[in-house]
Amino acid sequence: MSVRPRDALRVEALTVAFRGSDHPVIRGVSFEIAPGEAFGLVGESGSGKSLTCRAILRLLPRGAAGTGRVTYGAHSLLELDDAEMQALRGSTIAMIFQDPMTALNPVLRVGDAIAQVIRSHEGLGARAARTRALEMMERVGIRDAARRAAAYPHEFSGGMRQRVHIAMALAARPTLLLADEPTTALDVVVQAEILRLLDDLRREQGMSLLLVSHDFRVVAGLCDRVGVMYAGELVELGPTRAVLRRPEHPYTIGLMNSLPEAVAGERLRAIPGAPPDPERLPPGCAFAPRCELAVDACIAAPVAFSQTSPGHRSRCLRIDRLDDMRRSLAAADGA
């Protein structure tokens, strides 16, 4: 596999709003993914992780529009015309989706589906595309590819379908892969296999990866850096190891605590309350209403996204008081 020229993805002040609403659902998200880097976005459902992915590929739902600046190498993605953007999709930036049960066209044989990606992007003939499609199927761990290529999606299990879906996304050799909850719909054993596969493929192809998940463990295993999203904005951003060792935001700690296996033998500690309605965001820190450390200053005005250590940023005024909360995490780790 030849190494393609690689680019960095830069997302600057990305804001997504639905038409007719002055309350954006994604508010000024900025991050960067270096060439070949794996970056994770974590947060609960509705925090805007998936919309961030779709905004990058300009595949937002009807009525939603993204503003800000998104660049990939020399391309300014939000400013390209539709045809240029379409040419980048699949060939340079690809995406995989959460539910492998619906992400495959039920009337297309899987071999044809993969070959179609190759033909449409690389102009190969039917035979050459088919050969490449079979190679791709082997690469994602589908044994007996020549025979399985003739099967329809309903003949595959969930994990196998996700492999097919990954094969399609990677068939035209993209350099950036957006993976939106790629393992959420799968059982735990298959989850681990798919994550390992994604990691291997990323290293082999020298691809950059944006991995979106609600599960900290998924991101922790694969990503160099991680961003934590809450109510449409980043609340913490830093190297995965640093964030895991010393989280700098109460929401991050809450998220880690609410993992089913974090506290063996104890009750799950859910974060009290629910995420805010984007139409009625509190004027200050969006997490303040659910935060046990919140003080008047948190509620009064928006909190800046400030650096706590090199490469590590947090949107919290009470960082110096986080130790107690972190101890609950340490206790859980020890148990």
Partner 1 sequence: MSAVSTVALGRPARRRRLATVGWSLRIGLVGILTVAALAAFAPMIAPYDPTALGLAQGLTPPSAAHWFGTDQLGRDILTRVLYAARIDLQIGTIGVIIPLIMGAVIGLFAGYYAGWSDAILGRVVDVVTAFPFLVLVLAIVAMLGPGLRNFYIAISLVSWVAYARIVRGEALGVRGRGYILAARSLGYSDARIMFRHLLPNVIVPALVFGMSDFVLDILAGASLGFFGLGVQPPTPEWGVMIAEGRNFIITAPWVVIFPGVAIIVTSFFVSLIGDSVSDIVRRVRAS
Q: In this structure, are residues 76 and 70 in contact, taking their beta carbons and an 8 Å threshold? A: yes
Distance from C-alpha of 42 to C-alpha of 252, rounded to nearest angstrom: 9
Distance from C-alpha of 268 to C-alpha of 257, rounded to nearest angstrom: 7
Smallest Cα–Cα separation from 328: which of 262, 278, 244? 262
Work out whether 104 is an interface residue with partner 1 (CB under 8 A).
yes
Work out whether 90 is an interface residue with partner 1 (CB under 8 A).
yes
Q: Pick the binder of partner 1 from 30, 105, 258, 328 (CB under 8 A).
A: 105
Q: Pick the binder of partner 1 from 27, 49, 121, 132 (CB under 8 A).
A: 121
Nearest distance from residue 44's CB to partner 1, in Å?
A: 21
**Which residue lies nearer to partner 1 by CB, 103 or 316?**
103
Which single residue is written with the structure tokens 């609340």?
235
**Which residue lies nearer to partner 1 by CB, 71 or 116?**
116
The encoded tokens of residue 260 equal 């089913």
Q: In this structure, are residues 236 and 227 in contact, taking their beta carbons and an 8 Å threshold? A: yes
Binding mask 36-65 for partner 1 (x = CB under 8 A): ---------------------x-x--x---
Binding mask 139-178 for partner 1 (x = CB under 8 A): --------------------------x--xx--x------
Question: From start to end of the chain, where are the E strands?
Answer: 9-18, 26-33, 38-42, 64-72, 75-76, 93-96, 176-180, 208-213, 225-230, 233-239, 306-309, 312-314
Nearest distance from residue 133's CB to partner 1, in Å?
A: 13
Binding mask 205-234 for partner 1 (x = CB under 8 A): ------------------------------
Nearest distance from residue 135's CB to partner 1, in Å?
A: 18
The encoded tokens of residue 205 equal 């192809």
Q: In this structure, are residues 260 and 52 in contact, taking their beta carbons and an 8 Å threshold? A: no
Work out whether 123 is an interface residue with partner 1 (CB under 8 A).
no
**Which residue lies nearer to partner 1 by CB, 163 or 290?**
163
* Of 117-125, 190-198, 223-231, 314-322: span binding partner 1 (CB under 8 A): 117-125
Residue 53: which region, alpha, beta or left (left: phi > 0; alpha: psi -120 to 50)? alpha
* Site residues (vs partner 1, CB under 8 A): 57, 59, 62, 86-91, 94-95, 97, 99, 101-108, 116-117, 120-121, 165, 168-169, 172
